Amino acid sequence: MLAGTGSDVGKSVIATALCRIFRQDGYSPAPFKAQNMALNSYATPDGFEIGRAQAVQAEAAGIPCHTDMNPLLLKPSSDHTSQVVLNGRAIGNMGAYDYFRQDEGREVLRKEVNAAFDRLKDRYNPIVMEGAGSISELNLHDTDLVNMPMARYAGARVILVADIDRGGVFASAYGSIALQTPDDRKLIKGIIINKFRGDLRLFDQGRKILEDICKVPVLGVVPYFKDIHIEEEDSMELTQKQRSAVSGKVNVAVILLGHISNFTDFGMLEQDPRVNLYYTNNIEEIGKADIILIPGTKSTIDDIITIRSNGVAEAILRAHRNGTTVMGICGGYQMMGLSVSDPDGVEGSVREMPGLGLLPVRTVMEGNKVTRQVQFSFGEGGAACQGYEIHMGRTVPEQNAACSPLNTLQDGTKEGCMADSRTMGTYIHGILDNKTVIDYLIGPYARKQDTARILDYAAFKQQQYDLLADHVRKHIDMPLLYKIMSAND
């Protein structure tokens, strides 16, 4: 188990690297995170929902993703409420206080995540487990499902991951271990220092100090990297991508919504050398874009209210009038329509809001969630493409509306809406992982000499997993890790 001194210390990335390393070394690894909190999710091949990080880790391990890898997913819908997804299916919304109370329901969830682990370990070896946040949240100790109680159940060797970039690494590592019960402390077998900047030799003494005070070995010091691209789960990383428009490239602005989800939709587009992609809610930068993408959101109505009040909605409409292409994906597609209604209060107390009016469609929120992988053709007689759907709500065109379907699913079902070549929306996540769609979208704006470049995004991701594995293998004592994993204590 990779446990953390806090959130965003790099547990997920290290777990991804180890999944790849173990696969390279001839094992059959699988990722596991009992409980994940994230808006970035993914549809499994059999049509269920898990956290995106575990889907990425499974891809690095070379296996199909499965709900047993992340049996419990919390998708925040407000500061106090989350949708609870158990074994790939949404079972309702719950407030944080109720979720973390000690009651019979909590033990039911514990049994479910333990059962998922048991099923997974019967199929794969080793299991690369991941904790959540900090392992020293003492007020949540008795209700914790994902950190040390899960490690105890699994008999896991726990490696503590500490982020040196944020400072206080000695206090956070020592405190995280010292605050455990004596039995849990024995499970912690080592420390990985992550996100180091500078000359590694400068931490030689620090490494020895940590080993002396924590009484466990430091397995490695992993340098910070910027040139390896692994799909992210946490939207905090998007603050580093709030760039500006530039000349000489196709400027693509992704609207930075308050409840943005599945921003991995833009990974391939971000790697295209013809494109300058940036996230923004700045009105001036929106106006400079050639293409505006409105991404998915966990709370469509709340984000409509926000972009209407902060001027972003008007900036999008003004840019569209001036010739900018606007495309919405999932919640963004819903927002582009005439209205979004929520008669049953699926998202909250607001029952209806007008949309941006860019597409002649209306959306009604419904309790049932669609989660599936799809194959489709883009446009009329387009090439075969693939993606996935994760959404609540049904979107239908107005009667006699001037709107053509954007896609045709494999079974012949029409999907999405295209009002014209500059105005379109779809429920399909991953649609921009397909070259056909990207070339159509940016073709009118790209320089002619740049249009022939082809990026095989699937091959690119596999290359990045190998680069990540090489980076981590170089800086972690893998023989010591294998010795720890095979010990009988």
CATH of the domain at 424: 3.40.50.880
Q: What are phi and psi of 253, to 5 degrees?
A: -100, 120
Q: Would you say residue 238 lies in a domain?
A: no
Distance CA 108, CA 90 (A): 16
325-338 residue pLDDT tens: 999 999 999 999 99
- Do 423 and 481 reside in the same domain of the chain? no
Q: What one-letter code names the amino acid at 437?
A: V
Q: Would you say residue 236 lies in a domain?
A: no
Q: Would you say residue 451 lies in a domain?
A: no
pLDDT tier, 100 (very low <50, low <70, confident <90, very high otherwise) = low
The pLDDT assigned to 403 comes to: 83
- Do 314 and 221 reside in the same domain of the chain? no
pLDDT tier, 453 (very low <50, low <70, confident <90, very high otherwise) = low
Average pLDDT for 96-106: 68
Q: Would you say residue 283 lies in a domain?
A: yes
- Do 286 and 395 reside in the same domain of the chain? yes
368-409 residue pLDDT tens: 899 999 999 998 777 899 999 999 999 999 988 878 999 999
Q: Can 429 be counted among the known catalytic residues?
A: yes
Helices vs strands, H then E, count in the chain: 16, 26
- Domain of residue 375 covers 249-446
Q: DSSP readout, 134-200?
A: -TT-GGGTTT-SSSHHHHHHHTPPEEEEEESTTS-HHHHHHHHHHTS-HHHHHHEEEEEEEEE-S-G
Q: What are phi and psi of 123, to 5 degrees?
A: -110, -25
82 vs 277, higher pLDDT:
277
Q: What one-letter code names the amino acid at 39?
A: L
- Do 341 and 196 reside in the same domain of the chain? no
What is the percent of the chain with per-residue pLDDT over 70, rounded to a whole number? 94
- Do 282 and 154 reside in the same domain of the chain? no
Q: Would you say residue 92 lies in a domain?
A: yes
The pLDDT assigned to 380 comes to: 74
β-strands 275-280, 296-297: how paired?
unpaired
Beta bridge partners of 74: 37, 84
CATH number of 174's domain: 3.40.50.300
- Do 10 and 108 reside in the same domain of the chain? yes
Q: Would you say residue 295 lies in a domain?
A: yes
Q: Which is the catalytic residue, given 330, 385, 403, 417?
A: 330
- Do 418 and 474 reside in the same domain of the chain? no
Q: Which of 29-33, 313-317, 379-383 has the lowest mean pLDDT?
A: 379-383
The pLDDT assigned to 236 comes to: 54
Whether the pLDDT of residue 452 is over 60: the answer is no
- Do 262 and 371 reside in the same domain of the chain? yes
Q: Which is the catalytic residue, given 259, 391, 429, 475?
A: 429
- Do 180 and 274 reside in the same domain of the chain? no
Which residues have CB under 8 Å from 360's CB, separation 6+? 337, 338, 397, 398, 401, 402, 403, 417, 419
- Do 332 and 441 reside in the same domain of the chain? yes
Whether the pLDDT of residue 489 is over 70: the answer is yes
What is the percent of the chain with per-residue pLDDT over 90, rounded to a whole number? 78
- Do 175 and 45 reside in the same domain of the chain? yes
Q: Would you say residue 452 lies in a domain?
A: no
Q: Would you say residue 235 lies in a domain?
A: no
174-216 residue pLDDT tens: 999 999 999 999 999 999 999 999 999 999 999 999 999 999 9
Whether the pLDDT of residue 451 is over 60: the answer is no
Q: Is residue 394 within 8 Å of residue 366, measured between CB atoms?
A: yes
The pLDDT assigned to 96 comes to: 61
Residues in the chain: 489
The total number of structural domains in the chain stands at 2
Predicted TM-score of the model (pTM): 0.89
- Do 40 and 12 reside in the same domain of the chain? yes
